[in-house]
Structure formats: C-alpha cells, structure tokens
Amino acid sequence: MSKREFQTEVSQLLQLIIHSLYSHPEIFLRELISNSSDALDKLRHLTLVDDAYKSLPFDPRIDLTLDEEKKTLTISDTGIGMNDEDLVSHLGTIARSGTKSFLSQLSGDAKKDSNLIGQFGVGFYSAFMVADKVEVTSRKAGEEKTWRWTSDGKSGFDLEEVTGAEARSVAGTTILVHFNEEGAQYANSWRLKEIVKKYSNHIAFPIFLTYEKSEWNEETKESTKTRVTEQVNAASAMWRRSKSELKDEDYKEFYKSITGDWEDPLLWFHTRAEGSLEYTTLFYIPAKAPLDLYQADYKGGVKLYVKRVFIMDDSKDLLPQYLRFVRGVIDSEDLPLNVSREILQQNKVLTSIRTASVKKILSELKNVAANDPEKYAKFIAEYNRPLKEGLYGDFANREVLLDLVRVKSTKVDGLTSLADAKARMQPEQKSLYYITGGSEDLLRNSPLLEIYRKKDIEVLILDDDIDEIVFSSIPQYDAIDLKSVNKSATSEDLQDESTAEKSEELKPLLEKLKATLGDAVKDVRTSSRLADSPSCVVSDEDEPSARMRQMMRAMGQTNMPDLKPTLEINPDHEIIRKLLANPGNPHTDDAAWLLFDQALLLEGIQLKDPATFVKRLNRVLSLSV
C-alpha cells in the first residue's frame, strides 16, 4: 500500500464541497451514477470498434447495494474500469486549467458558491459530502490487475493492489461509500429510489437497487426481511422519444443528469430529422454561462451518439466555437461507429448535421426573442458576447446573428436590437452609426457624438472589447450601411455647403497645425462632427483605431504598424477662432499639441510623453491666471 497526497487544487475543492454544499448533498448519487454511465458508454464503444476489446463480455448495468445496518452504499458498474495510473490521475489530480479560475471566483457566500460549483460539476468528490471514507476498487477492461483507492477526503489517499477472489469478482468499478452522520439519511431504500428517479431516470443503462425489504407475515404475525433487487430507472435514450411523450420535468431532469448542473436550463430545443439523413438532436442553453466559456481549454458540451451508442463528449467540432455554451446530444443513424475525431472534421454527414443544428439553434433563439423578451434578455445577459464572435466567423448565419445580438445606444436605456435601431432612424438619416474604442462612460462622453446628439441621430455604443474587430467587418445590416463615427469618412454624411467654406477659411491654420504636429498625424482638417469640443481624432476607413492598436500591442502583438490618426478641429469653437484671428500667436505650437493630446485622452489613449504634455499645459495656464 502506498500513501499519496492530493494535488493542491483537489484539497481546496474537497474542503469547499464538504463545507459549502450542505444544502445539496443528495447530488452525490447523481454524480457517481453519471460517472458509471460514462464508463459504460466508453466500454460499449470499444467493444464495437476496437478489435482488442470485441471479445470482452459486455453486460451493461449499474448496481446500487444498500446496507442499512452498516450505513454503507456500494455503486458498481461493468464499464471501462481504471488501473493504478487512472485512479491517481482521475481521483488525485485535476488536470483542467479552469479549476484555478473556478476557485478564484468563489466568494465565501455558501449559496452563491454552491451555484458556481453546480456549473463546474463536482463529480466524484461530491461523495465526501456524505461520507467519512470512500473506497474505489477497479480493474481496467483487458487488464489483469485490480486496484483499490481509499481516502477520507482529508489526508490524501491510499493505493494498493487487490488480489485473490476479491480481485476476480470485480468487473469495472465499485465505489463503497461509508456514510457519515450527515449521509446516514441516505441509508434508506425509499430515499435512494427517489433520488435516482429525480436525477438519473433517463440514464441509458439499467440501474438496480439491492436492499432488505420488510414484509409482514400474516401467519406468523412477524415482520421478516427479504433481500430484493429492483430496477429503479427507465433506462431509455430519452432524446429518442417523441416530444409529445415528454414533460418539461423530463427535459430538466435529463439536462441535470448529463451536465451536473442543478439549476434548470434556460431553454431547450428537441429535433428529429428524417429523410436523406436521420438524426436526433436535443440541445440545452444553461441558465448561467459555463465557467470555462472564455478559456482556451473549454470542454465541449455536446455528446455524440451513433444509433444510441455513445461515441464522444469532448469534441469541439460538433458545433462552432461561438456556440460552445450549448449542452446536449446529437444521435446520428448515418455515421460509422468507429468515427474518430480526425474523421469528424471532414465527414460530410456530420457537416450537414452541424450546419442544420446551428440554423435550428439560431432560429429557435430568434423565436424566443420575438415571443418571450424577458427570457431572451436572460439569455443575452449570459451569451451576447459569444454571439458577437459568431458575427466574425460564421458568414453563412451573419444576418440572423445580427438580429440576435443586442447593443447599447444613445437613445434607449439598457440594450437594443439593430432592427429596433433601424426603425428609429431619422427620415434624412443615411446609415446606422456606431462608436467603439473604450468603456461605455468614455464612449458616451466622446466628442465624436456631439453632432449626432445635436441632430438627434442615434449612435450605437459598442463597448465590448471585441466590437471594433467584429463590426468593422460588417458593412451593412438589412440593406442599411453600418458606419463607425470613429472613421474619417463617416463625417461626409454630415457635411453641407458651409463645411467647404469653413475649410477654405481655416486653410492657413490647418497648414500651420499640420506643420507643427508633423509625423504625429496623417492630416489636420476641418470637422463637421464636432459641436462643443475643439478637436477629435479619427482613423481612416480601413485602419484600426488608435485605441485598438494600443490594446493589441498590450496583448503582445508588437508588430502592429504605428498608424497615424487624423486630427479634426471644430471651426466654430472659441479656441480655433482665436487661433485663426491671431496667425502670429507665439503659443500656437503649444495649442496645436494640446488640441491633439486632449483628443487622444478623450479617446482613452495613453500619451507617449505625458511630462511634455504637462509642461505645455502649465505654460498655457500661466497666461490665463
């Protein structure tokens, strides 16, 4: 026997589970049964496609054996099993990098933390909520040796080889739970049946419960105990049943059984396709975004089956990345059972299923948006950003995604759709306008919005850090041009005859300012977009804004070209009029740089030389006091 220590994250997670999840201890059984189901799924697949396993007997079942007197429960399966290395890696360490992120999000508030843990999926470790000792005995399919892992959930774990008759009796994995005082309530056959029906009724393999049943003997007038075994779940592939047979509770229970979440899903979409391709899909939208949503090693949430045979549950090819929050099942009649991850990427059948599934999900979301705005608002609160990612990469569905995303606006509180923004356009308005490049507060106070506010024209506030990248690649929405007010060409929509006259009048000053600023700017010109501010900076149509270039450099893209912004000045502003009236003013150079630097600051751009800026500012201040 060897004594091992838990990985640090496992110890933290165990302490958290034991002390924070007291309000949901019954989920330990759901989690252990789910693990058994996964083990059976994996072995069934191997016996069908791998020659090394085809000769192995496969009698899929999960057995629960209750000993009320000893206060123990045994959960056994005839699945793939584990060897010593598997036991250490699966039960002694946590490989996913998301664990640290998950632990860092915990607040210390038990109720909030229990919801987070529910999303994360506590798996095997949930047993320690109800047990003071857990023994896992397992033999990996096709191997000779049997191993036992034992732990109290506190001081690490023991690992030893099991020999003799006990070793020969193991086929798969057996977990022996020694109930603690809290868990003693589950040493009850009626309670166990209720938990299985609540959480695991639709597990596709039969679950049997063995327990002592008391019966009254009328002749002897005595109660006798008989050991009985009963199947306690429906053991059906729920997604293959007709929607008319299923109730909302069936869908909710199945969702919880495949995800480990104990919160009801926000939405679900159940489809059966027949024709050239036959397949069934059941997709769920979790009420809360998965914790690994924005991590590179996110876990795919859709299980792939072929003719009800489980194939895989961690492929990222079943749905596009922007729909990585979707959970559920795809069951195909047409894929080969030995389909691999590599084959999946080029498989025409799966490509067709994936294409149709994406359209179905987006279509259903559009229906929810139209018919249940309150529920859709909850969806958007969690998943607006992933939908925007889809705008950038899914060209085939861009139009419907544009209808689905929501944005902030200068006209309404909260969020709005592009369709509603289009409906609010002024009669003379030529385009839908938007502004990017900083926080909501910074954008709402940008001088770039002044003329739009004066003309009562709506501007969309795109303050998400991916908005500029996404929307700069989308020229139109519903035959209406989408234009960024950050771009120089947008001001052409606002120009009138007086703009050209003012530009001619300001020409000497513009040339002076351009000469002073030199290589810092691409050009200096008269603005038609300013009402109150003296200056602003804009970028050319095909260039990222100065703030975007700054952000990309901060993310490590050091090869970003040092593009120059265009400085626009307000011909009607008092400062500009005074500079124009006094061409020989010795402080024009300082004024030129201050007009440029303050425009950069209003865009949220860090100045390259703040010390020089302060010196110039102090020189100008000294003239006014």
pLDDT at 11 over 50: yes
**Beta strand residue intervals within 480-530, DSSP E:** 480-484, 523-526
Residue range(s) of every CATH 3.30.230.80 domain in the chain: 239-376
Range 75-102 burial, b when 16+ CB lie within 10 A, else e: bbbbbbbbbbebbbebbbebeeebbeeb
Cβ contact 547:601 at 8 Å: no
| pLDDT of the residue at 550 | 65
Q: Which of 231, 235, 244, 229 is nearest to 201 (CA)?
A: 235
Q: Higher model confidence: residue 517 or residue 540?
A: 517
Q: Are the C-beta atoms of residues 403 and 417 closer than 8 Å to each other?
A: yes
What pLDDT does residue 417 have? 97
How far apart CA 480 and CA 423 sit, in angstroms, is 11
Q: Are 227 and 204 in contact (CB under 8 A)?
A: no
- The confidence score (pLDDT) of residue 534 equals 95
Could you tell me what percent of the chain has a pLDDT over 90? 57
Q: What are 207-250's pLDDT values in tens digits?
A: 999 999 887 777 777 878 889 999 999 888 889 999 999 999 99
- Residue 100: per-residue pLDDT: 55
**240-268 pLDDT, tens digit each:** 999 999 999 999 989 988 887 878 999 99
Distance between terminal CA atoms of the chain? Answer: 85
Assign 554 a pLDDT band (cuts: 50, 70, 90).
low
Res 97: pLDDT: 45
Contacts of 324 (CB under 8 A, 6+ apart): 290, 293, 298, 300, 301, 316, 386
Say how many C-beta atoms besides its own lie within 10 A of residue 410's C-beta.
17
Task: Give residue 23's pLDDT.
Answer: 60
- Look at domain 2-235 and name its CATH class: alpha beta
Residue 515's identity, in one-letter code, is A
pLDDT tens sequence across 410-456: 999 999 999 999 999 999 898 999 999 888 999 999 999 999 999 99
Higher pLDDT, 439 or 5: 439
Q: Flag whether pLDDT at 10 surpasses 60.
A: yes
Question: How far is it, in rounded angstroms, from Cα 123 to Cα 429?
Answer: 56
CATH (residue range 239-376): 3.30.230.80
More confident residue, 295 or 136: 136
User: What CATH number has the domain spanning 407-625?
Assistant: 1.20.120.790
Q: What percent of the chain lies above the pLDDT cut of 70?
A: 89
pLDDT category, 3, cuts 50, 70, 90?
A: confident
Strands (DSSP E) contained in 519-610 are: 523-526, 535-538, 566-569
If you average pLDDT over each of 8-12, 94-98, 451-455, which comes out highest? 451-455
Instruction: Note the pLDDT tens digit of each residue in 14-45.
Output: 777 666 555 678 888 988 998 899 899 999 99
pLDDT tens-digit map of 321-370:
999 999 999 999 998 887 777 777 788 999 999 999 999 999 999 999 99
DSSP 526-539: E-SS-SS-SEEEEB
Asked if 79 and 276 touch (Cβ cutoff 8 Å), the reply is no
What pLDDT is attached to residue 106? 58
Q: Give the tens place of pLDDT for each residue, 459-486.
A: 999 999 899 889 988 999 999 999 999 8
> Nearest 10 degrees: CA dihedral of 162, 165, 168, 171?
-80
Domain limits, CATH 3.30.565.10, in the chain: 2-235
Running DSSP on this structure, what letter comes out for residue 300? P
Mind listing the pLDDT tens digit for each residue in 135-157?
A: 999 999 999 999 999 998 887 88
What pLDDT sits at residue 606? 85
> How far apart are the C-alpha atoms of 448 and 452, rounded to whole Å?
8
Bridge partners (DSSP) listed for residue 73 = 66, 177
pLDDT of residue 95: 47
With CA atoms as reference, report the closest residue to 449 among 508, 507, 397, 409: 409
Find the helix or strand (DSSP H, E) in which 613 lies.
helix 610-624
In angstroms, the Cα distances linking 34 to 24, 31, 124, 141 are 16, 5, 9, 19
Provide the mean pLDDT of the chain: 87
At residue 277, the pLDDT reads: 92
pLDDT tens digits, one per residue of 79-91:
999 999 999 888 8
Quick check: 196 and 208 in contact, CB under 8 A? no
Task: Report CA 116 to chain centroid distance, whole Å.
Answer: 13
Question: Where does CATH 1.20.120.790 sit in the chain?
Answer: 407-625
Average pLDDT over residues 548-560: 67
Q: Identify whether the C-beta of residue 535 lies closer than 8 Å to the C-beta of residue 567.
A: yes
Residue showing tokens 């104990």: 262
Q: What is the pLDDT of residues 105-134, one digit of tens each?
A: 655 554 455 545 444 545 788 888 899 999
* pLDDT-derived band at 93, boundaries 50, 70, 90: low
Which of residues 287 and 261 earns the better pLDDT score? 287
pLDDT at res. 372:
97
Tell me the two tokens of residue 576. 């500009």
Give me the pLDDT at residue 313, please.
Answer: 80
Task: Let me know: does 60 contact 40? Beta carbons within 8 Å.
Answer: yes
In this predicted structure, what is the pLDDT of residue 20?
A: 59
